[in-house]
Structure 1
Amino acid sequence: MAGIGFVLRELDRRDTITGSISSAGHGMIVAAGPWLFTVVSLALIHRGTSTALTSDESYGFRSLVMYAFAISLLATAPFVNVAIRLASDDIYRQTFTSVRARFLAALFVGSLASAAAALAIHILIFGLKGNDLVLAVCSTAIVALIWPTLAFCGAVRDYKGITTGFSVGMLVSILGTIWIARQGFGAAAMIGMFLLGLAIVFFALASRILLAFPDQVGGLATNLLELVTGLRQHWMLAAGSLFAIAAIWADKWIMWVGPDQVVLSNGLFSAPAYDGAMFLAYLVMIPALGLFVTAIETTFFEDSRRLFDAIQGQAPLGRIERYARDLEKQTYRMVYRVLMTLAAFCAVSILLSPVLVPIVGLQYHQLGIFRLGILAVFFQFMFVAATSIVLFLDRQARFLTLQLIFFATQVGFTLMTIILGQEYFGYGHLLACAFSAFLAMAVLDRTLGNVVFLSFATAFRRPNGATIPATARKKVANNPIRLEEEVVPVLPVLQSGPLLRP
């Protein structure tokens, strides 16, 4: 979101330890709130209900929650990211009357798409029926409300409110679900209590958005039509978002139908040994995500905004290129600093893994996968950081290509490890993350090195996205002083003179 980092910026600039910790903590919630909510809640619920539930009942409950998050995230990602892009444009232009409408449209479409996807998957693949089917579809639709709400909450800039909402909701889910289980009310009541905590999170966050953006333009049909138009205009962003989520889950899906497959009593597939180790390993990434979000919303945002403001203000080319070099240098410094912090976390976690395994509820035969997952965390964060910056610079085609490659390598390498045997489980995911990470960094290097050229190349496109005809480009080349008469740039370049002054 354009310009949402002011609160994090103020916290980060305080010359105190608490200021830095607060900014990173709020960044963690913004970047990985639902993920943190799910993993921590399920881990604590599992430990709190170990004497009240059988192993099959515990796995059945966790599988319903896990499927709800996976399906809803996959189904909502294209709509949410496109809606966020449209809202970002609105905020950048300081036209705030459409933000609330875009949020409601994303809520409606995302929840509907998630419910439809859950219904199709659970009937066609798993053959669920009756109460299990109703629980699965309803839980997926409710979880789907969280994704657009958290995304749009960035525009409100109320990071303390976001953190408080997640904390209260998680506390209700954990304590309430454990109490329900110990009272013997069954899986349906446990799911209901868990979803109640998520509903608290949703209402706490959604109310802040609705209060911050009270104006609404047009009816639901108009807003949905604008979202459809945005999907057509930013189809590469939508497709890239879809494959980004599919790539994250691809190795888990393959393992669910692999040799370690466990068919639960409710008909869902799982691979508990692989899933538990990988999900807990990825908790190591969350502090790095918090630092990354803080850095993106402070240093990187300021440097990139200075560059684009210079372009729009028709600054001399030498100054623009100097700002571009500063942006490249500061971006690498930011990524390097966060990567070194994450590397320290990963090294300590691997060294202490024999001690951590019983503490986090794993068994020692999961130790190898747990360590491989921690190594994969380092490379996947590198991939996430690089692709996020590429997307921030509006290179949607490159973002889509990288996500397609990540998805293909995840599928290919994970299938290869299944063929090689159980002792190789986890290596496929690690190889896919490492290969995709280095490729993404190469793309990022090329993008930052050509950021000035790419900015002007994007500007010389007509509003409908079509490139300028060759004849028009020739006229511009022959008479650069009259550039504004030949083309209509998309970037809000001032039209009172030449694009660049001497």
Structure 2
Amino acid sequence: MAGIGFKLQQLFQEDYFSSRMKAYAFAGLVTAGPWIVVIATIAMIQWFSMVFLPVTLQERELFNLSISYSFIFSQVLFGIQQLVVTRYVADLFYEKKTNKVFPTFLGMTKVTLFLAVTAWLIFIWISSLPFMYELLLLVLFVTINLIWVLFLFLSAAKFYQAVAYSFLSGAVIAVGMVFLLGRSAEAFMFIPHATSFMLVLGFTSGMIVTLFGLLFSMLITFPLHTSDNQFQYIGYFDKYPTLFWTGFLYNVGIWVCNWIIWFGEGRSILLDTFVYNRVYDTAIFWSYLTIIPTLIIFVVSVETRFYERYRSFYGYINQGGTLQQIKSSKESMQYVLKQELERLVRSQGLISIVIILSIGYAATFVPVENDIISIFRFTTVGAFSNAMVLVLTLILLYFEDRRGAMITSILFFSLNAVLTFLLLPFGFNGYGLSFALGSSGALLFALLRLTYFIEKVDYFAFCNPNNLERPNPPTLFTKLSQWMNKRTIL
């Protein structure tokens, strides 16, 4: 599933500074596209609204929280299927059954739509917002959920330019729509929270453009050959339950600190609907931006350079290589993996340390509350550890250590949740510390687990019970997939 990384590597092999800069730029948009687009688009929309529209603080907060909630909970829903579907699609590629990729996309899309609408129904049950506004949020929420789905399938696509341009086009359309809607603001005055409605409508329009751009890339990359067996991938929940828990608990673990802190010191409730903590949410938002370099380096360097040695090592095992060939490829793979991980830690570590040390000085130029600065220092450490946990978890999955990856996610979620509960009475003085400690604890385990596994990788390659195919009788999810496939209409 390292297709985008390999295409970007072609640009790095060219001896042109512009080609390398282009590769890093595309890698940034491909790996962190949603973050970059959302941040830039929201910033532009907020600037426009403050300059040209009579927007109140409440309306601006309503807009921000509408976007934040949509992204946070769509990511949690996506985590339910993320790794299971990724494994299923990867197996299709390995078996050269790419004609089944698009039907799988259709099936995952339908399940995602069901989960998204169900979550929205729960939301409107507790919400006090006008129904028209809630309906707009449904469109936005569904759109973002489908963008996550397309992003998964396009992770192995060759049209990475289309991925980048889809997000850029969406950003331009979003800002342009807000401008056009602002000029006809009188037409929306009959709608409660009219200004927020216009801002969310403009942003949603941009996301829809992004969605269709990604869908176009999907249709080009994986043409529709058949629509049969759309839900066959659901049977993989029986085959790989550890992947479900790994993806789901990791995504929940990212936000569990926020959810708990929403009920601590600094808690606010907007319009009896959105619960938030402005101080902590601001700090965690900015700290997550500091780890964008990790995502870029992993895609264009670690995942690609390491994967070449990984493929060579397992190629010798699967195709009957000599003992010397296996040993030599193992040593090469270990050396490259260690080298790339050390470079990743040094690069991201240096960036995080510089930001932590300089944030106080930078705050003299921009008015920022002291509580936000103090929390930000802790959350930046947590974000660094979180990024490394993600990288190490993915590498563990490369080596089929699904149990190790699952335990890592369990620790990541449980440590963050328990420590946040314990430190909640300390209020602002304890915010961020639980995230830093919990994420670092999970990172320590993942590092020890990978070190142990990589030293005995040849043993696990031959003797790992995960590699054995066992014919299992149909169980819950397998039967469910068969039942759903029989009743598929479109």
Q: Do the two structures share a fold, i.e. TM-score over 0.5? A: yes
Confirm whether residue 223 of structure 1 aligns to residue 225 of structure 2.
Answer: no
User: Which residue in 2 is equivalent to 1:403?
Assistant: 409
- The code of the aligned residue for 1:163 comes to A
User: Which residue in 2 is equivalent to 1:370?
Assistant: 376
User: Which residue in 2 is equivalent to 1:480?
Assistant: none
RMSD: 2.3
CA contact (8 A) 1:5 1:157 kept: no
Deviates further, 301-310 or 130-139: 130-139
Confirm whether residue 76 of structure 1 aligns to residue 78 of structure 2.
Answer: yes
User: Which residue in 1 is equivalent to 2:469?
Assistant: 462
User: Which residue in 1 is equivalent to 2:156?
Assistant: 155
Deviates further, 366-375 or 18-27: 18-27
CA contact (8 A) 2:76 2:248 kept: yes
Matches within 5 A, 1:56-71: 56-71=58-73
User: Which residue in 1 is equivalent to 2:31?
Assistant: 31
User: Which residue in 1 is equivalent to 2:137?
Assistant: 136
Confirm whether residue 439 of structure 1 aligns to residue 445 of structure 2.
Answer: yes
Whole-Å Cα distance in 1 between the matches of residues 420 and 409 of structure 2? 16
Whole-Å Cα distance in 2 between the matches of residues 355 and 377 of structure 1? 21
Q: Secondary structure at the match of 1:269?
A: strand
Residue identity (%): 22
Whole-Å Cα distance in 2 between the matches of residues 319 and 439 of structure 1? 31
Residue 207 of structure 1 deviates from its aligned partner by 0.8
Residue 94 of structure 1 deviates from its aligned partner by 2.1
Structure with larger RCO (C-alpha < 8 A, sep 6+): 2
Unaligned runs of 5+ in 1: 467-502
Instruction: Mark the CA change 1:354 to 1:218 in structure 2 (over 3 Å): closer, same or farther.
Output: same
CA contact (8 A) 2:158 2:221 kept: no
- The code of the aligned residue for 2:198 comes to A
Matches within 5 A, 1:422-501: 422-458=428-464, 461-464=468-471
Matches within 5 A, 1:3-402: 3-50=3-50, 52-124=54-126, 126=127, 130-177=131-178, 180=181, 184=185, 185=188, 186=194, 187-219=196-228, 222-224=229-231, 226-265=232-271, 267-357=273-363, 362-402=368-408
Whole-Å Cα distance in 1 between the matches of residues 367 and 391 of structure 2? 30
Cα-to-partner distance string for 1:9-48 (whole Å, 9 max, x where unaligned): 2112223333333333322223222233223333343343
Q: Secondary structure at the match of 1:464?
A: coil
Cα-to-partner distance string for 1:284-332 (whole Å, 9 max, x where unaligned): 1112210111124420110111111111110112321221222122111
Residue 81 of structure 1 deviates from its aligned partner by 2.7
- The code of the aligned residue for 1:119 comes to L
Instruction: Mark the CA change 1:142 to 1:455 in structure 2 (over 3 Å): closer, same or farther.
Output: same
Deviates further, 31-40 or 144-153: 31-40
- The code of the aligned residue for 2:357 comes to L
Q: How many residues align?
A: 462
Deviates further, 325-334 or 412-421: 412-421
In the superposition, the TM-score normalised over structure 2's length comes to 0.88
User: Which residue in 2 is equivalent to 1:488?
Assistant: none
Q: Secondary structure at the match of 1:270?
A: strand
Instruction: Mark the CA change 1:180 to 1:275 in structure 2 (over 3 Å): closer, same or farther.
Output: farther
CA contact (8 A) 1:78 1:237 kept: no
Whole-Å Cα distance in 2 between the matches of residues 140 and 457 of structure 1? 45
Instruction: Mark the CA change 1:361 to 1:39 in structure 2 (over 3 Å): closer, same or farther.
Output: farther
- The code of the aligned residue for 1:24 comes to Y
Instruction: Mark the CA change 1:380 to 1:359 in structure 2 (over 3 Å): closer, same or farther.
Output: farther
Q: Secondary structure at the match of 2:400?
A: coil
Whole-Å Cα distance in 1 between the matches of residues 377 and 135 of structure 2? 37
Cα-to-partner distance string for 1:388-416 (whole Å, 9 max, x where unaligned): 11122222221111101110011111122
- The code of the aligned residue for 1:130 comes to F
Instruction: Mark the CA change 1:348 to 1:301 in structure 2 (over 3 Å): closer, same or farther.
Output: same
CA contact (8 A) 1:79 1:109 kept: no
Deviates further, 24-33 or 275-284: 24-33
In the superposition, the TM-score normalised over structure 1's length comes to 0.86
CA contact (8 A) 1:80 1:147 kept: no
Residue 271 of structure 1 deviates from its aligned partner by 0.9
Unaligned runs of 5+ in 2: 189-193, 474-490
Q: Secondary structure at the match of 1:94?
A: coil
Residue 266 of structure 1 deviates from its aligned partner by 5.4
